Amino acid sequence: QKEVEQNSGPLSVPEGAIASLNCTYSDRGSQSFFWYRQYSGKSPELIMFIYSNGDKEDGRFTAQLNKASQYVSLLIRDSQPSDSATYLCAFPPRGGTSYGKLTFGQGTILTVHP
Amino acid sequence: DAGVTQSPTHLIKTRGQHVTLRCSPISGHKSVSWYQQVLGQGPQFIFQYYEKEERGRGNFPDRFSARQFPNYSSELNVNALLLGDSALYLCASSSRWDSSYEQYFGPGTRLTVT
């Protein structure tokens, strides 16, 4: 079983729609999660992190975490063509090990078409 | 303030050769992590260094090695290159060894092995 899996893409949504990106993880002890956005040919940039069950909102982005079901999702409201990118979920190791190690999913390519 | 810098930007090597990739962290950051990102996949953790000491190592063969210098810059070395080493190599810096969400990624070095 993979440590983290993301919903298969690519995902295509019309401009103005809600884009939903999902990620499941296998380690029940994982405490916090990150969503990175990576434009083609660029490096990943952190857009959201969440560590509590429930929702966390930041502008048009909402991260949702459900530890019982072991999934984390990212909703993008009012999607814009500039949101077209690969979205990566990631989580750090549990305490006592290298916090510099992030485990990433394979990424979901999102395309927002006008 | 300058972000994380990496050199070179692109590199083409042949099988069996050796390569050295360089990373300069954000000023004041003492932690450097290295990741390999194969096309179509999420980044995979290779090493973390903090204060010149190795803090973590991913599941990579001994052909991969790294070090950190007194000024906190870092080198990643790969010996006996294989075709499968072709990837984007990312460096991420952080001010703390125990904080994953503060990691900032550099632009990466695109390595092509022919």
Residue B60 touches partner A, C-beta closer than 8 Å: no
CB contact under 8 A, A99 and B99: yes
Rounded distance between C-alpha atoms, residue B104 and residue B4, angstroms? 7
B97 chain-A contacts, CB cut-off 8 A: 98-100
State whether residue B74 sits within 8 Å of chain A by CB: no
Cα–Cα distance measured from residue A14 to residue B52, given in angstroms and rounded to the nearest whole number: 48
Tens-digit pLDDT string for chain B (114 aa): 679 999 999 999 999 999 999 999 999 899 999 999 999 999 999 999 988 899 889 999 999 999 999 999 999 999 999 999 999 999 999 887 666 667 889 999 999 999
DSSP 3-state of A34 = strand
The one-letter amino acid at B11: L
> Residue A97's pLDDT is what?
57
B83 backbone dihedrals φ, ψ, rounded to 5°: -55, -35
